[in-house]
Amino acid sequence: MTAEPEPIDFGAAVAEVVRSIPPGRVMTYGDVAAALGSRASRAVGKVMAHEGSDLPWWRVVRSGGLPPVHHEARALEHYRAEGTPLVDRASAWRLDMRRARWSPEPGDPSDDVTGGAGAHRASRSDRAGAGPTRAAVRADRTGDGPDRAGDRPDRAYDPTDPGFPVDPF
């Protein structure tokens, strides 16, 4: 009989990923969840709310580049001290997510928690040969894509074809 894998303590896993974020860089709640192979960004927020005081909490931000709610002034002090890229507006500021966003790469300390493979967010170059684009799939579904002779059967309804339902109406 095979042994079941040991369950991962989600809170400890979140803490490990957050500790691995380098100074001057940030991850969103969703990025932290994705690094753990999850989509539970709200659960990451809950962990940060309950256990985040001992962590570099200011490095986990909202997806729009805004710091944690009600901690903006304290977070700004940390961002300036660490040299985190900011965008200053006339009335407000936010993080420059294009320059400040970080994702763990294979071999980082967070791999011990996340299992390594696939833990980092794929960059555009990583995804280049990953398969058809959304537009190509959509064009193929609608019949607007390039015509590949012999690749696609005629999609017209044929009541004598056993592959079709008896009567679609």
Q: What pLDDT was estimated at residue 160?
A: 61
| β-sheet bridge partners, residue 111 | none
As given in the structure block, the two tokens for residue 89 are 């507006």
| β-sheet bridge partners, residue 95 | 86
What CATH number belongs to 10-127? 1.10.10.10
44 or 143, which is more confident: 44
Q: Which of 23, 22, 21 is nearest to 31 (CA)?
A: 21
* pTM metric for this prediction: 0.61
pLDDT, one tens digit per residue, over 109-124 is 444 444 443 334 444 4
CA dist., res. 132 & res. 97, Å (int): 27
Contact at 8 Å (CB) between 58 and 25? no
109 or 70, which is more confident: 70
Which has the minimum average pLDDT: 16-20, 43-47, 49-53, 73-77? 49-53
Computed on alpha carbons and rounded to an integer, the radius of gyration of the chain in Å comes to 23
What is the CA angle 30-15-50, rounded to 5?
85
What are the backbone dihedrals phi and psi of residue 124, each rounded to the nearest 5 degrees, phi first? -60, -40
